């Protein structure tokens, strides 16, 4: 059925060429088009995937691809489209001897080969790189340029890049779509860009579907881009960029990068805690193990292993304590060390994450934390780990993670805050740095408890995020009840006022009714005196940053902190704006807590 339909399509040339614009990301200009193909709209072979899959199954790939090239080239010339044409060609067909005679198609339709870019698309692995390299050299000699499609997705795209040194590389859409929310995708694209700069290739980002992705790709200095947000494939495509897309690309400012969240303990494993400790065997006596402890004063634990399998462990305090008792050494000294070993030690595989391992220890008997644990590989003994090393590693990871993302709000921490400020300064754009701080927070934390305090901090973080444009404004959590917002939105003042109003209304839900009614609450100070505390309010100190005004994030942090101190002098929910010329003007917005 499909074969007969495919044969009919080839005989009657029932293929339609579509063209999707490829644009210059910095200039906002259409530099060329990728030629795409579709089968008849009323056919199961309309989609290119089904079309080429059927052709491969029946040995018609060369015939189909040859016709596709002819249709695309002829239609491109007929439309008189400007710029380059990206023409899809499979490596296996490019290297076939019978394909070499068909490489004059461009000239046949009156198209200069220098306007055609052969885009290598992989449907199966490439094995003969030498043959492919020779074919590429042959086509380059005719004036064609080379592009590699779907970098990062194909079978051997990185190897092809190294072997062929193409003029263009296209990043697979998987790494572009959602890049604004995925630090790994961001790092992948940045790495590809760095390699391209070193190798002389031009990078094209495929699959751009949102404005946020568009602006982030632009900020990474990726040269070219294409995708549905820019323009969909069309039989008669536009020759100029859509006005909204052009406006977005020409807009000053920098994109907000995704930030790291969570703890690295989710990926670091028990292998990092491994200490190589020579084990004892069950046929060793207690006297022999005692001598090992005596000769190694720092050794606290000796595992017992039989035929490579851990069967227990012996701790220094346990053995030394027993031998200190009258006659016990005389009675048990020559007996097997298994007599005094812990026959149910904690055993974990080397690939267990530290997060999981810490949970296992918490749920296990208390002595395992002090005794340590045995680390294995496929059930066989590797070494030991200690509870102290585990806690030290987890603590250090928490400290490091907090620098990148605050564990309470999961907002970016100090490192990404400073990095974003530096990017803003380097780009020379205007922005506003807003320092947000909670007033009267410490007594609330003392009276209502730290859990309630955490709830209020999380409320502040959530409201800050909700009142910002996620594609333009950066929200960071400095620590405690201190936050910073780096506004690129032109309406940042209105956003700040809306934030203050919303916070004033929602923070009340965290108080007891009687405290809301009287506008505060009583508590005792350190001397036992009754003190009245007002309800929590929010102070915003804003510094407007002009190009060239500051040179480092340290200066901006200092200026924003001073603006925040001025804001805190204003009663209630307040905003203080430090003006560019050094003139300070306090503004009050939002509602003060009811008295």
Task: Judge whether 552 and 442 are in contact, CB under 8 Å.
Answer: no
Query: pLDDT tens for residues 235-264?
Result: 999 999 999 999 989 887 888 888 765 545
Task: Please indicate, yes or no, if residue 144 is contained in any of the structural domains.
Answer: yes
Quote the pLDDT of residue 401.
Answer: 62
Task: Please indicate, yes or no, if residue 399 is contained in any of the structural domains.
Answer: no
Q: 552: domain CATH number?
A: 3.30.70.270
In this structure, are 75 and 13 located in the same domain? yes
> Can you tell me the mean pLDDT for 295-304?
89
Last residue of a domain, one of 224, 250, 276: 250
In this structure, are 282 and 154 located in the same domain? no
Q: 138: domain CATH number?
A: 3.20.20.450
The most distant pair of C-alpha atoms in the chain lies apart, rounded to whole Å, by 105
In this structure, are 167 and 193 located in the same domain? yes
Range in 174-178, 394-398, 555-559 the model is least confident about: 394-398
Task: Please indicate, yes or no, if residue 595 is contained in any of the structural domains.
Answer: no
> Is the pLDDT assigned to residue 155 strictly greater than 70?
no
Q: Which domain holds residue 85?
A: 2-250
In this structure, are 132 and 67 located in the same domain? yes
- Alpha helices by DSSP H, listed for 428-487, are 441-448, 450-466
In this structure, are 488 and 456 located in the same domain? yes
Tokens of 544: 């407007």
Residue 189 pLDDT level (bands cut at 50, 70, 90): very high
Task: Judge whether 119 and 170 are in contact, CB under 8 Å.
Answer: yes
The pair phi, psi for residue 152, each rounded to 5°, is 100, -10
> Is the pLDDT assigned to residue 404 strictly greater than 80?
no
Query: pLDDT tens for residues 434-443?
Result: 999 999 999 9
d(CA 366, CA 281): 26
Task: Judge whether 571 and 593 are in contact, CB under 8 Å.
Answer: no
> Is the pLDDT assigned to residue 340 strictly greater than 80?
yes
> Can you tell me the mean pLDDT for 490-503?
96
In this structure, are 129 and 67 located in the same domain? yes
> Is the pLDDT assigned to residue 265 strictly greater than 50?
no
Quote the pLDDT of residue 388.
Answer: 83
DSSP string of 126-191, one letter each residue: ---HHHHHHHHHHHHHHT-EEEEEEETTSSSHHHHHHHH--SEEEE-GGGTTTGGG-HHHHHHHHH
Quote the pLDDT of residue 589.
Answer: 42
Task: Please indicate, yes or no, if residue 255 is contained in any of the structural domains.
Answer: no
> Which residue did the predictor score with more confidence, 251 or 209?
209
d(CA 430, CA 486): 10
In this structure, are 364 and 236 located in the same domain? no
Quote the pLDDT of residue 154.
Answer: 54
Residue 399 pLDDT level (bands cut at 50, 70, 90): low
> Is the pLDDT assigned to residue 469 strictly greater than 90?
yes
Task: Judge whether 200 and 168 are in contact, CB under 8 Å.
Answer: no
| Number of neighbours of residue 298 by Cβ within 10 angstroms | 5
Query: pLDDT tens for residues 374-388?
Result: 999 999 999 999 888
> Can you tell me the mean pLDDT for 460-488?
95
Task: Please indicate, yes or no, if residue 256 is contained in any of the structural domains.
Answer: no
Task: Please indicate, yes or no, if residue 593 is contained in any of the structural domains.
Answer: no
d(CA 358, CA 398): 13
| Whole-structure pTM value | 0.69
Residue 585 pLDDT level (bands cut at 50, 70, 90): very low
Tokens of 202: 């031009």
Quote the pLDDT of residue 223.
Answer: 96
Task: Please indicate, yes or no, if residue 594 is contained in any of the structural domains.
Answer: no
Query: pLDDT tens for residues 50-69?
Result: 988 898 889 888 889 889 98
What value does the CA radius of gyration of the chain take, rounded to a whole number of Å?
A: 34
Closest CA to 339 of 322, 361, 360, 363: 322
In this structure, are 108 and 193 located in the same domain? yes
> Is the pLDDT assigned to residue 580 strictly greater than 70?
no
Task: Judge whether 429 and 489 are in contact, CB under 8 Å.
Answer: no
Last residue of a domain, one of 366, 394, 422: 394
In this structure, are 237 and 285 located in the same domain? no
Quote the pLDDT of residue 93.
Answer: 76
Pairing relationship of beta strands 474-479 and 482-487 according to DSSP bridges:
antiparallel
Residue 329 pLDDT level (bands cut at 50, 70, 90): confident
Residue 21 pLDDT level (bands cut at 50, 70, 90): very high
Q: 373: domain CATH number?
A: 3.10.580.10
- Could you give the 3-state DSSP secondary structure of residue 584? strand
Tokens of 492: 């940042």
> Is the pLDDT assigned to residue 586 strictly greater than 60?
no
Last residue of a domain, one of 394, 419, 449: 394
Task: Please indicate, yes or no, if residue 146 is contained in any of the structural domains.
Answer: yes
Task: Judge whether 199 and 165 are in contact, CB under 8 Å.
Answer: yes
d(CA 83, CA 239): 10
Range in 90-94, 106-110, 335-339 the model is least confident about: 106-110
b/e for 421-431, b at 16 or more Cβ within 10 A?
A: bebbbeeebbb
> Can you tell me the mean pLDDT for 88-97?
81
Task: Report the chain's terminal Cα–Cα distance, integer Å.
Answer: 81
Give the rounded percent of residues in the chain with a pLDDT score beyond 70: 91
Task: Judge whether 374 and 280 are in contact, CB under 8 Å.
Answer: no
Range in 1-10, 73-82, 393-402, 540-549 the model is least confident about: 393-402
> Is the pLDDT assigned to residue 456 strictly greater than 90?
yes
Q: Which residues pair with 86 in a beta bridge?
A: 34, 117
Task: Judge whether 574 and 588 are in contact, CB under 8 Å.
Answer: yes
In this structure, are 189 and 327 located in the same domain? no
> Is the pLDDT assigned to residue 595 strictly greater than 60?
no
CA atoms within 13 A on the CB side of 22: 24
User: Sign of torsion, CA 333 336 340 345?
Assistant: positive
What secondary structure letter does DSSP report for 269? Answer: B
In this structure, are 226 and 291 located in the same domain? no
In this structure, are 280 and 365 located in the same domain? yes
Q: What is the average pLDDT score of the chain?
A: 88
DSSP string of 483-519, one letter each residue: EEEEE--TTHHHHHHHHHHHHHHHGGGGS-HHHHHHT
Number of domains in the chain: 3
Is residue 308 exposed (0-12), middle (13-18) or buried (19+ Cβ within 10 Å)? Answer: exposed
């Amino acid at each position: 059925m499909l074969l007969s339909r495919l044969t009919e399509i080839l005989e009657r040339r029932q293929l339609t060429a579509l063209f999707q614009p490829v644009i210059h990301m910095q200039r906002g200009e259409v530099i060329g088009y990728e030629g795409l193909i579709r089968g008849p709209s009323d056919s199961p072979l309309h989609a290119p995937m089904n079309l080429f899959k059927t052709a491969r199954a029946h040995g018609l790939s060369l015939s189909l691809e040859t016709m596709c090239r002819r249709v695309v080239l002829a239609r491109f010339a007929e439309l008189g489209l400007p710029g380059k044409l990206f023409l899809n060609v499979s490596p296996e067909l490019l290297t076939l001897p019978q394909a070499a005679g068909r490489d004059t198609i461009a000239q046949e339709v009156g198209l200069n080969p220098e306007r055609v870019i052969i885009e290598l698309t992989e449907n199966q692995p490439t094995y003969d790189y030498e043959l492919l390299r020779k074919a590429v050299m042959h086509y380059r000699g005719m004036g064609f340029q080379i592009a590699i499609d779907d970098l990062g997705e194909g079978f051997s795209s990185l190897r092809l890049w190294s072997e062929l040194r193409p003029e263009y590389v296209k990043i697979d859409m998987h790494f572009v779509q959602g890049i604004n929310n995925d630090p790994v995708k961001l790092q992948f694209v940045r790495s590809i860009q760095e390699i391209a700069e070193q190798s002389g290739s031009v990078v094209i980002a495929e699959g751009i579907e949102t404005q946020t992705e568009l602006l982030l790709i632009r900020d990474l200095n990726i040269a070219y881009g294409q995708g549905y947000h820019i323009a969909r494939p069309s039989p008669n495509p536009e020759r100029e960029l859509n006005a909204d897309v052009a406006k977005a690309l020409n807009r000053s400012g920098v994109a907000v990068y995704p930030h790291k969240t969570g703890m690295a303990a989710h990926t670091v494993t028990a292998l990092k805690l491994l200490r190589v400790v020579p084990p004892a065997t069950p046929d060793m006596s207690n006297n022999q193990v005692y001598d090992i402890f005596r000769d190694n004063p720092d050794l606290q634990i000796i595992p017992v292993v039989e035929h490579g399998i851990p069967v227990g462990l012996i701790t220094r305090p346990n053995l030394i304590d027993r031998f200190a008792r009258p006659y016990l050494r005389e009675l048990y000294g020559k007996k097997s060390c298994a007599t005094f070993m812990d026959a149910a030690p904690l055993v974990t595989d080397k690939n267990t994450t530290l997060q999981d391992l810490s949970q296992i220890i918490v749920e296990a008997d208390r002595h395992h934390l002090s005794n340590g644990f045995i680390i294995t590989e496929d059930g066989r003994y590797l070494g030991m780990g200690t509870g102290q090393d585990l806690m030290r590693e987890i603590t250090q990871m928490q400290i490091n993670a907090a620098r990148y993302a605050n564990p309470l709000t999961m907002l970016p921490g100090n490192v990404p805050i400073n990095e974003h400020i530096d990017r803003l300064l380097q780009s020379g754009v205007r922005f506003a740095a807003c320092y947000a701080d909670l007033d009267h927070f410490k007594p609330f934390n003392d009276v209502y408890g730290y859990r309630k305090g955490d709830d209020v901090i999380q409320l502040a973080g959530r409201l800050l995020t909700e009142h910002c444009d996620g594609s333009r404004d950066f929200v960071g959590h400095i620590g405690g009840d201190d936050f910073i917002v780096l506004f690129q939105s032109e309406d940042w003042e209105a956003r700040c006022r809306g934030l203050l109003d919303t916070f004033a209304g929602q923070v009340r839900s965290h108080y007891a009714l009687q405290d809301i009614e009287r506008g505060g609450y009583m508590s005792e100070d350190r001397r036992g005196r009754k003190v009245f505390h007002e309800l929590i309010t929010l102070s915003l100190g804003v510094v407007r940053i002009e190009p060239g005004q500051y040179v480092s994030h340290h200066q901006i942090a200092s200026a924003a902190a001073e603006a925040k101190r001025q804001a805190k002098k204003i009663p209630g929910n307040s905003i203080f704006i430090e003006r560019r010329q050094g003139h300070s003007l306090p503004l009050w917005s939002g509602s003060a807590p009811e008295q």
